Structure 1
Amino acid sequence: MSAQELLDALGWWFHPVTALLVAVDAPFPPTPSELFVIGSGALASAGSLSPVLSVLAAWLGCWAGDLGLYALFRYRLTDLLDRWRWGRAVHQGIRRLLVKAGPETSLTGLFVLRFVSGGRTASVAAAGIGGIRWRVFLWFSGLGALVWSVYMVGLGWITGTATGLPWWASALVGMLLGTLAGALIAGIVALRRRSGKG
């Protein structure tokens, strides 16, 4: 499917769909939101989308998802999730991510861990459990979401410009590069934790 065919099919819905997927990605990390965000960067490099609107959609979606997940854990609303089977699965998945990531309630965790697979979910849930104040959370989450959005759209822009591939192939290349960068960040975080314990 060409960029123009995709845009014709989605019309003005492309950015709202991207924002929705990024928001849903907070409690459901397997959501393919990165494909849309990086893809919007690749489409912007071809002149099919506005890079500013692409970043804005990703940022608002990321921030909204962070706020919802934070409130869920800050106010102990997870009982609502536990009423449904799918909700229990989501709750258990988030708890597993928390165990895997460790008790990262620091403000740095809100900023850095969003670049690691599942890190955004774990750090935001941990911030809610740890009771980080709303105002502080809003600033750090908003800044982290903005940097992440610029990075992801920029990754799509760079791969779209450098490869000359169709938007979807550029998005896949960007996702691969982003995954490698996330693995590197995860390794650095793990080493810092290990050296702190040693």
Structure 2
Amino acid sequence: MSGESLDPAWVESLGWWFHALTALLVALDAPIPPVPSELFVIGSGALALNGSLGLVPSVLAAWLGCWAGDVGLYALFRHRLTGLLDRASWGQRIHRGILRLLDKAGPAPSYALLFVLRFVSGGRTASMAAAGIAGIPWRPFLLLSGVGSLVWAVYMVGLGWLTGSATGLPFWVSALIGMGLGTLAGLMIAGIIAVRRRSREA
């Protein structure tokens, strides 16, 4: 039985609101990594496979949401506006979480790592905050973030498309499988980065 026939009836009515929700969740994922944005992005690729969503709008929603989240978090730390977070208890928790990720990430990353770390769990949050603290100029940051966000969006939506076409399972199962594959790829990237850092420090 195909994944399309197993999908619930509501997927037939998906439209702009799903893309808007996806973009919002991806943007929020920058300061709050536990937000399940990847499930929606990868799921949109699987849904595009059976025609419930458009492929190009799915990529655009993920790209713009990712870019907006990057810019917002970068600006927050570049202009020292983190005091806005500390005004509420939930904001303080977010701030503490970001600082913990920064502590694990180590020194401010290079331009190349700003591009690569978005594929690692928590890496996007730490790298964007570190870029703001380091005062990386706006122009190269916007270019690097825009290109990196586009590559990430194509990769994640494509992962959902390929997983769905390979398995023929419902979109949500394909999305979960895609998330697992994406996590494994992120762990491999994190391992390579850690090895290279240790070799430089040795």
Same fold (TM over 0.5): yes
| SS state at 1:82 partner | helix
Supply the distance in 1 between the matched residues of 2:88 and 2:177 (Cα, whole angstroms).
Answer: 37
- Tell me if 1:189 matches 2:189: no
TM-superposed CA distance for 1:105, in Å, is 2.9
Q: Distance in 2 between matches of 1:181 and 1:25?
A: 19
The structural deviation recorded for 1:101 is: 1.3
- 1:47: which partner in 2? 51
RMSD over equivalenced CA pairs, Å: 1.1
Q: Is the 8 A contact 1:156 1:174 kept in 2?
A: yes
Q: Structure 1 CA distance, aligned partners of 2:194 and 2:43?
A: 30
Amino acid at match of 1:191: V
1:2 and 2:21 matched: no
**C-alpha distance 176-26 of structure 1, shift in aligned 2 (>3 A):** same
Query: Which of residues 83, 98, 122 is equivalent to 2:87?
Result: 83
CA change 1:7–1:80 in 2 (3 A) is: farther
Q: Give the Cα separation in 2 of the matches to 1:11 and 1:129.
A: 38
Of 40-49 and 110-119, deviating more is 40-49
Residue among 154, 164, 167 paired with 1:163:
167
Question: What TM-score do you get using the length of structure 1 for normalisation?
Answer: 0.97
Secondary structure, counterpart of 1:104 in structure 2: coil
**2:26 is the alignment partner of 1:28:** no
Tell whether 2:152 aligns with 1:148.
Answer: yes
CA distance 1:110–1:3, shift in 2 (3 Å): farther
1:75-96 per-position Cα deviation (integer Å, ceiling 9, x unaligned)? 0000111111111100010000
Partner of 1:19: 23
| Structure 2 CA distance for aligned equivalents of residues 102 and 59 of structure 1 | 27
Q: Under a length normalisation based on structure 2, what TM-score does the superposition of the two structures give?
A: 0.95
* Stretch deviating more after TM superposition (25-34 or 48-57): 48-57
Instruction: Give 1:127 shift.
Output: 0.2
Q: Is the 8 A contact 1:18 1:58 kept in 2?
A: yes
Helix, strand or coil at the partner of 2:87 = coil
Q: Distance in 1 between matches of 2:108 and 2:159?
A: 27
AA partner of residue 11 (structure 2)? L
Matched length: 197
- What letter matches 1:5 in structure 2? W
- Using the TM superposition, give the Cα deviation of residue 138 of structure 1 relative to its aligned residue in structure 2, in angstroms: 0.1
Q: CA separation in 1, counterparts of 2:140 and 2:80? A: 19
Deviation at 1:50, TM superposition (A): 1.1
Q: Is the 8 A contact 1:3 1:43 kept in 2?
A: no
Gaps of 5+ in 1: none
For the residues of structure 2 that align with 1:158 and 1:104, how far apart are their CA atoms? 35
